[in-house]
Amino acid sequence: MAPKLSDSVQGLRAAGNQSFRNGQFGEAAALYSRALQLMQAQGSSDLEEESVLYSNRAACYLKDGNCRDCIKDCTSALALVPFSMKPLLRRASAYEALEKYPLAYVDYKTVLQIDDSVKAALEGINRMTGALMDSLGPEWRLKLPSIPLVPVSAQKRWDSLPSENRKEKAKSKSKETTTAKNKVPSAGDVERARVLKEEGNELVKKGNHKKAIEKYSESLSFSNLESATYSNRALCYLVLKQYKEAVKDCTEALKLDGKNVKAFYRRAQAYKALKDYKSSFADISSLLQIEPRNGPAQKLKQEVNQKLN
């Protein structure tokens, strides 16, 4: 004999959904709980169904202001099906309500890795950035928990690509492509590029220039409109004695910002190392027109001048 609708997991979930739509959040949570208990009693291995039930119950808790239980259920849902969008957003909202802004920021950022067009996550990031700046000061990003890297399989932007294009898309993670140069980056792309650039900056401070290059390259694959990212990567190339690459990056940086003093200085250094003293002298002269009292540039000008004479 077939079970009654209300005695099946699917029936209990459907009833819970109806109660939620009716604004009966306590009743909906009870129905989702019954469905979870039934799944456990049956020894069900349907992880996706179980994850949805936890996530739905979390939505009820969030509506009723029970943020702590919402967080617990979202965490359970994500343990079953990692990087699910709804539990990430619900947990972020709960963290935000509890003023746990760093954790909320991480969840919103994770959502944007999955789909960089989610309005709730973009708005959440903006709120959290302001709140974290106010509470932790200008160095707030250094105090954040690590942001998990979402696997390619979970990223919506990859879902619409034909399989033969995915390898080519993956290559753009290590270098900016023609497509990336021609497209206007979304707000999510710009934000992710900024975070990756800052991760590169931290690696430079630690002396890990090879890894920093990878971060800057990944940043540029999301948005290639930041002059400083090119000039920062150029610094790494200089340290690694890859002078031609440094020249190219400084040139790109100066296309974006014709007064980027660091780009002029680093390109002058690279030209000097390549024994192109005329080009080096020209860059130092351009720099000193912008900053006449720049001590390192004045010293470099003297060195290059000696080579020319």
Nearest to 124 by CA among 140, 149, 139, 107: 107
Q: Cα(146)–Cα(106) distance, rounded to whole angstroms?
A: 8
pLDDT value at position 70?
95
Say whether pLDDT at 169 is over 80: no
Q: Hey, which of 144-153, 165-174, 260-269 has the most confident mean pLDDT?
A: 260-269
Residue 4 confidence class, pLDDT cut points 50, 70, 90: very low
pLDDT greater than 70 at residue 189: yes
CA atoms of 66 and 59, how far apart (whole Å): 10
Nearest to residue 302, comparing CAs of 189, 242, 288, 289? 288
Instruction: Say whether pLDDT at 244 is over 60.
Output: yes
CA–CA separation, 50 vs 34, rounded Å? 12
pLDDT at residue number 180: 47
The residue among 7 and 178 whose pLDDT is bigger is 7
User: What is the predicted pLDDT for the residue at 175?
Assistant: 43
Per-residue pLDDT, averaged over 232-239, amounts to 95
Lowest mean pLDDT among 44-48, 94-98, 227-231, 280-284: 44-48
pLDDT computed for residue 144 by the predictor: 86
| Average pLDDT of the residues in 4-30 | 88
pLDDT interval class at 5 (50, 70, 90): very low
187-308 belongs to CATH 1.10.3720.10: no
Rounded to whole angstroms, the Cα distance separating 51 from 83 reads 11
Burial 16-38 (b: 16+ CB within 10 A, else e): beebbeeeebebbbbbbebbbeb
Q: What is the pLDDT of residue 44?
A: 81
CATH architecture entry for 9-147: Alpha Horseshoe (1.25)
CA–CA gap between residue 33 and residue 16 (Å, rounded): 9
Q: Burial, 241: exposed, middle or buried (Cβ in 10 Å; 0-12, 13-18, 19+)? A: exposed
Spatial distance between the Cα atoms of 199 and 34, rounded to a whole number of angstroms: 45
- Whole-model pTM: value is 0.52
pLDDT at residue number 142: 84
- Give the end-to-end CA distance of the chain in Å, rounded to a whole number: 100
Q: How far is CA 299 from the centre of its chain?
A: 40
Give me the half-sphere count of Cα atoms (radius 13 Å) on the Cβ side of residue 113. Answer: 19
The predicted structure's pLDDT at residue 24: 94
190-209 residue pLDDT tens: 888 888 899 999 999 999 99
3-state secondary structure (DSSP) of residue 15: helix
**3-class secondary structure for 54-80?**
HHHHHHHHHHCCCHHHHHHHHHHHHHH
pLDDT value at position 170?
41
Would you say residue 253 has pLDDT above 80? yes
Indicate where the chain has its CATH 1.25.40.10 domain(s): 9-147, 187-308
By CB neighbour count within 10 A (0-12 exposed, 13-18 middle, 19+ buried), where does 97 fall?
A: middle
pLDDT in tens, 65-93: 999 999 999 999 999 998 999 999 999 99
Query: Does the pLDDT at position 163 exceed 80?
Result: no
What was the pLDDT predicted at 157?
40
In the predicted model, what is the mean pLDDT of residues 173-202? Answer: 69
Report how far residue 202's alpha carbon sits from residue 158's, in angstroms, rounded to the nearest whole number.
29
Question: Could you tell me if residue 2 is left (phi over 0), alpha (psi between -120 and 50 degrees) or otherwise beta?
Answer: beta
- Backbone torsions φ then ψ of 173, nearest 5 degrees: -70, -30
pLDDT of residue 154: 64
